[in-house]
Amino acid sequence: MREIRIVSDPCERVAQLLVEAAGVGANIVLAGGETPREAYELASEADVDWSEATLWFGDERCVEPDHSDSNYGMVSEVLTSGIGKDRRPRVKRIEGELGPEIAAANYETELRTELGNTPRMDLVILGLGRDGHTASLFPGKPAVKERRKFVAAVPQPGMPPHVPRVTLTLPVINAARNIVFLIKGDKKAQAVALAFDEQSNEQTPASFVRPVDGDITVFADELAANELVKRQECLSE
């Protein structure tokens, strides 16, 4: 099922889904970025036992885990460090500091060892860049076309921070039971329209996120959904 939910509080909605998934011991993939960060801060306030859950990363910047650009560092700061030791989730960190190729190979091995050769995440949280990227799948970059590996190196990302990245690929994202996009603000309106209105297109990697047999829900505020609504109103006329 595919749903586009235009809501005033997308971060709260996603925080609720994250907490629910954590409470049932799910395999959860987290995104980086300011909007997902806000959802994690809200989720950290919930009284839930995360100890059965496993947190994975949709992508990572190739920096030390305590670097300000680290997605692992951000999640540690706003979410996991505030959880009581006996209620913390398992966290599967991408070792970005080893460089994109080695870190990607190591994460692929960890994924396959842990979840087998057809890994099915329970919940994948994704952000959307104004250029249509998601995770670290940037327009025109080889990782978008990767269909065999589950984890790819991204030596040259398409947006700041301009450090090499590691990203999950579309096969593992699209195998998930639940994919949730979290998007806010008018800067994303064009990308939202291209990602969720039209056919998949090379310049908008997020448009290739289509669950094989799971659900996808886009939580967007009015500003982010503005362009999509205009287009669909034209179509419905």
Q: Give min distance, CB of 71 to ligand 6PG, in A.
A: 5
- Answer yes or no: are the C-beta atoms of 127 and 107 closer than 8 Å: no
- Residues contacting ligand 6PG: total by CB under 6 A: 15
- Answer yes or no: are the C-beta atoms of 161 and 69 closer than 8 Å: yes
Q: Give min distance, CB of 233 to ligand 6PG, in A.
A: 26
> Which strand ranges, in their side-by-side order, compose the sheet holding 59-61?
59-61, 165-168, 151-154
Q: Does 204 bind ligand 6PG (CB under 6 A)?
A: no
Instruction: Find the binding residues for ligand 6PG in span 44-83 (CB under 6 A).
Output: 58-59, 71
**Which of 127, 132, 158, 164 is in the footprint of ligand 6PG by CB under 6 A?**
127
d(CA 220, CA 58): 19
Which residue, 19 or 154, is less far from ligand 6PG as judged by CB? 154
Determine the interface stretch with ligand 6PG among 132-140, 172-180, 192-200, 215-223 (rule: CB under 6 A): 132-140
Cα atoms in the 13 Å half-sphere on the side-chain side of 91: 18
Q: Going residue by residue from 86 to 125, which x/- string records binding to ligand 6PG, judged by CB under 6 A?
A: ----------------------------------------
Q: Does 164 bind ligand 6PG (CB under 6 A)?
A: no
**Which of 134, 169, 178, 207 is in the footprint of ligand 6PG by CB under 6 A?**
134
Q: Going residue by residue from 3 to 42, which x/- string records binding to ligand 6PG, judged by CB under 6 A?
A: ----------------------------xxxxxx------
- Answer yes or no: are the C-beta atoms of 166 and 152 closer than 8 Å: yes
d(CA 48, CA 130): 33
Q: Give min distance, CB of 94 to ligand 6PG, in A.
A: 10
Q: Give min distance, CB of 187 to ligand 6PG, in A.
A: 8
Determine the interface stretch with ligand 6PG among 48-56, 127-135, 192-200, 216-224 (rule: CB under 6 A): 127-135
Q: How many residues does the chain have?
A: 237
Residues that bind ligand 6PG (CB under 6 A): 31-36, 58-59, 71, 127-129, 133-135
